[in-house]
Chains A and B, each alone.
Chain A
Amino acid sequence: MDTYYTEPIGKTERIPKLAADLFARMPEIEAARAELITESYRQTEGEPIVMRRAKAFAHILKNIPIIIRDGELIAGSTTIAPRGCQTYPEFSYEWLEAEFDTVEHRAADPFYISEDTKKRLKAANGYWKGKTTSELASAYMAPETHRAMAHNFFTPGNYFYNGVGHITVQYDKVLRIGFAGIRAEAEKELASCLFGDEDYARKSRFLEAVILSCDAVIGYARRYAALAKEMAQKESNDRRKSELLTISENCSKVPEHGAEGFWEACQSFWFVQQLLQLESSGHSISPGRFDQYMYPYYEKDLNSGKLTREAAQELIDCIWVKLNDLNKCRDEVSAEGFAGYSLFQNLIVGGQTVEGKDATNDLSFMCITASKHVFLPQPSLSIRVWNRSPQALLLHAADLTRTGIGLPAYYNDEVIIPALINRGLSLEDARDYNIIGCVEPQKSGKTEGWHDAAFFNMCRPLEMVFSNGYDNGEIASIQTGDVESFQTFEEFYDAYKKQMNYNISLLVNADNAIDVAHATLCPLPFESCMADDCMKRGKSLQEGGAVYNFTGPQGFGIANVADSLYTVKKLVYEEKKVSIGELKKALEMNFGQGFDAITARDIALRVARQLEAEGKTATADIIAMTVHNVLTMELPAQEKARYEQIRDLIDELPKFGNDIDEVDALARDAAYTYTKPLETFRNPRGGIFQAGLYPVSANVPLGAQTGATPDGRLAHTPVADGVSPSSGKDTNGPTAACNSVARLDHGIASNGTLFNMKMHPTAMAGEKGLESFVALVRGYFDQKGMHMQFNVVDRQTLLDAQKHPEKYSGLVVRVAGYSALFTTLSKSLQDDIIRRTEQAVNR
């Protein structure tokens, strides 16, 4: 018998006001954290790194300015400016200094930075030269790895420049015993350490660092307790005064002690969520199964009459707003790849309990309602779907989907649970999974998953097959032979696999170098005290303290590779309509469609290099002339016509995404060229590599680094996103696209797959539209699809939003593993979203 409450609950006036205040102006970079960490580090030179980290964390929490914003019920802000961000020079800082003057005006995720802040940051940053994780990681990488990165085979930019994040900690434990309880556990563990133990040195220091971190957090909450009290004394409005007094009481009790009521639990949750991100610069710090661990507090207060459903909803709504208050400034290239100011704080509802029963409760519904009330990109709301998910919950979720907010994303327990068991999780742990960041499953509080370890462009090794390892005149990869010598499709495909294997090994080399750098320079004692088995092992997560350790880099461009391989197989080797040499030439000539500025730049660089090698100077005139010549180059009419004819022949071939068995089978196999070699590698924390198949939004900038491909895609245009079919190539409707995508092996891609589908609003109109939508999701999942997400918006609206961004400041779209405000995205990403097939229902 279902016992949850499913009726809609209204929103209070407070919520839109909190949200509006947050988005009133451009987010701003602040200098306080950078200054404080630098001050602390200067005083702790020579001490064990884990202690230096803890002391710096304590110094920051003791001194960073604090604020309670108007109308807030949950306190805790990382910056004084709404949606502001701090900086993290211990990971990297040079890119920010280089972008001081452009960061405010760049296309993706601009931030305001004052002259005073620039000055203060510059002063602090001076200390960090030669001390950052990125510099150490770089020093650990093989020369071939640097070369592969320079040639854009993959980018490990995320953890190379930033903290790792990508974790769900034991929120439930903090709610239950507070940091006083965790501190006591650390003390007990410390007391059991014997001076003669072989790991005494590291373990004792780590546990001391944990104790220091717990004290720091308790002290930070007390600062808020004092501030709230002080504000209450000055407050003239009685209602607000009483709210502030409650905030003060809450902050003096949690997160030091266990929470009793729901409001306390919300406050305690929030400090953990906020401070994890202040300790390191990681993103995708994911609240996980909020509806599960918050439920006992909600139920208790509701039953005792202390709380109404409306009041509980308001508190949840307040947390939803606060999740948008946290922000992060990335380098310009990464900002394109993660566009939309997103922190990917993934929060998931529904699914199963550890015993395998349905986990749906009141809060599952209220979390979905909160996203509807707040209507902001964070949290990245997700829902777990399994064969016994209640229809009512799915319809409630579908009703949110059709608002066009791009939330929630749908996940399939029936694929993810076995996939995790295959990676060594226990059945109970696998059933308790949640999603990190975009689409990555993990068991909370036990995993250091390194889920977003890199983007690997599967199209680049394909280019290397045609060029025999050369890229723009330089050797960039291994040589697999002259493509024109391949007599069969199998020879061609073998060469591709070799190119893949080689570059995957370099990707692993890059990730492991970065991994070692984080363990050496940035262990995180606060984060680690909320994950098993760090305290028992006396190791931070970064050093291998977690029960489950993974590294999960993402491959993308499956659809392009599959369609390309099919082209080569059919047109070249089976039907012999085009020779491999002709195809090679057509790709080099961009199918006769002319060259863009990127090609002109590449060729000019090549000319300059050549001149230099000959001891000559590449003058500005020569460069300008080269660029001009490339941009205006006219092919002989006959040659151009043949390339266009080849592209037409390609266009007529069946494509992935149309429910055609032969093409889909090739796509499944093509995905294995990434997922299978990868899982044979190990990381320095004692875990294995596991593949993901999703691009965040990197398919656009990384597509710009990819030449024309045999699927007919022109040079430097976006590659396909995630496991979705190429834009505009799926023409048989949503069920056909779903069937094709479900034919990939999602179970092996245990770091997550991402299937983006754009639905026209008419496809979801009425009760019938919702029911059919739910059937679509369930039908895809019945065929072992893993994840699905939707943009529900018509093309006209998006085009108009490009023209009149001012009218659409609230327009949320689904980008990749997350939603973002459409108008904050760069023009090229906007275009890509518009291009993605609109799955309209005809008639």
Chain B
Amino acid sequence: MTYNDVTGRIFDIQRYSIHDGIGVRTIVFLKGCALRCRWCCNPESQEYEIQTMMVNGKPKVIGRDVTVKEVMDVIKRDMPYYGRSDGGLTLSGGESLLQPEFAAALLQAAKNIGINTAIESMGYAKFEVIDRILPWLDTYLMDIKHMNAAKHKEFTGKENTLMLENAKKIAESRMCELIIRVPVIPGFNDTQEEILEIASYADSLPGVSQIHLLPYHKYGEGKYEGLGRPYLMGNAPMLPEGSIEKWKEAVEKHTALSCQIGG
């Protein structure tokens, strides 16, 4: 069996994505997540099981099992655009690391055809798992949502200890570019203090020079309804106008990081 035959479970492939890595990218969304973030905009990504979600009044099956080769057949279709923009493949989720063999095989397959690779992940796995994908990875887009373990657990279902350790190990490995991303969520981490705390940690990691602040949005709300689940963020206010720009300034003032709003 070669890496081409490895199978995994995905719920979407999105072409011409201009976020989540450099250039024009194809994002493969792997199904299944370890966390249950209240603000999650892709709730259909959380369960590993194949589900049915109502979309525009029609039931839609979410999730399918595919081989690496099948996914690569789609990815290869946009080679001309990667070539003109240094773009490539981004793995997203869910948490891709929950399907370690599949994630590694996909990244390896992509690297072998010479395209850029990125993963969007919070690093929730044993480091041995991460260590396996690093040889095939150009950019690790790592979520750090909060520095306080208790608060992290309250809002996401898991503590942050493992993820913070992994961030450090990834940075120290110097195997790939590491970019830290912070989803800025009202009522969770929307103070300058909390954001600066994350930024300082990111700044302390060797080789990390960039941080992204991802402002909270409600685009996922309809999906909760489609899954028959309550939307716990329903009453959350939107971030006040200008606040994110203010925090970006603060990050750039207090750390050596360059800070970008959005992916």
Contact = CB atoms under 8 A, between A and B. Distances in A.
Interface of A: 659, 732-736, 739, 763, 768-769, 771-772, 774-776, 778-780, 782-783, 839, 841-843
Q: Give me the 9 closest cross-chain CB pairs, A-B, nearest first.
A: A775-B85, A779-B80, A779-B81, A775-B84, A772-B18, A778-B84, A782-B80, A733-B15, A735-B16
A763 B80 CA distance: 19
Contacts of A842: 14, 17
B93 interface: no
A842 B12 CA distance: 12
B84 A739 contact: no
Contacts of A659: 77
Main secondary structure of the interface of A (DSSP, over half): helix
A737 B87 CA distance: 18
B78 interface: yes
A769 B77 contact: no
Contact of B15 (A732, A768, A771, A843): A732
Contacts of B23: 771-772, 775
A735 B14 contact: no
A739 B77 CA distance: 8
B118 to A, nearest CB: 14
Contact of B81 (A769, A776, A841): A776
A769 B87 CA distance: 13
Contacts of A843: 14, 17, 19, 41, 219
B211 interface: no
Interface string B61-98: 00000000000000001101101110100000000000
Nearest to A736: B15
A775 B15 CA distance: 13
B85 A841 contact: no
B221 to A, nearest CB: 14
Contact of B85 (A732, A772, A780): A772
Contacts of A735: 15-16, 24, 77-78, 81
Nearest to B86: A775
B84 A774 contact: yes
Contacts of B24: 735, 772, 775-776, 779
Contacts of A772: 16, 18, 23-24, 85, 87
Contacts of B17: 841-843
B87 A775 contact: yes
Contacts of B84: 774-775, 778-779, 782
Nearest to A769: B18
A768 B25 CA distance: 12
Contacts, number: 65
Main secondary structure of the interface of B (DSSP, over half): loop
Interface in B74-131: 77-78, 80-81, 83-85, 87
Q: Which bucket holds chain B's interface residue count? A: 10 to 19
A780 B16 CA distance: 13
Given A732-B15, A841-B17, A783 B80 contact: yes
Contacts of A734: 16
Contacts of B80: 778-780, 782-783
Given A735-B24, A772-B23, A772-B24, A782 B83 contact: yes
Contact of B78 (A763, A769, A771, A779): A779
B81 A775 contact: yes
A768 B81 CA distance: 14
Contacts of B19: 768, 841, 843
Which of A735, A782, A841 counts the most chain B CB atoms within 10 A?
A: A735
Given A779-B83, A782-B83, A841 B78 contact: no
A841 B16 contact: yes
Interface in B4-23: 14-19, 23
Which of A659, A734, A779, A842 counts the most chain B CB atoms within 10 A?
A: A779
Which of A763, A771, A772, A842 counts the most chain B CB atoms within 10 A?
A: A772
Contacts of B81: 735, 775-776, 778-779
B85 A771 contact: yes
Contacts of A775: 23-24, 81, 84-85, 87
Contacts of B15: 732-733, 735-736
24 contacts: A732-B15, A733-B15, A733-B16, A735-B24, A735-B78, A736-B77, A739-B77, A739-B78, A771-B85, A772-B85, A774-B85, A775-B23, A775-B24, A775-B81, A775-B84, A776-B24, A778-B80, A779-B83, A780-B80, A782-B80, A783-B80, A841-B18, A842-B17, A843-B14
Contacts of A739: 77-78
Contacts of B78: 735, 739, 779
Nearest to A391: B84
A330 B105 CA distance: 62
Contacts of A774: 84-85
B230 to A, nearest CB: 23
A662 to B, nearest CB: 14
Contacts of A780: 80
B212 to A, nearest CB: 12
A365 B49 CA distance: 55
A843 B25 CA distance: 14
A816 B107 CA distance: 41
A777 to B, nearest CB: 9
A426 to B, nearest CB: 30
A736 B26 CA distance: 11
Nearest to A742: B80
A659 B85 CA distance: 20
Which of B23, B24, B77, B81 counts the most chain A CB atoms within 10 A?
A: B81
Nearest to B81: A779
Contacts of B87: 772, 775
A842 B15 CA distance: 10
A768 B18 contact: yes
Contacts of A779: 24, 78, 80-81, 83-84
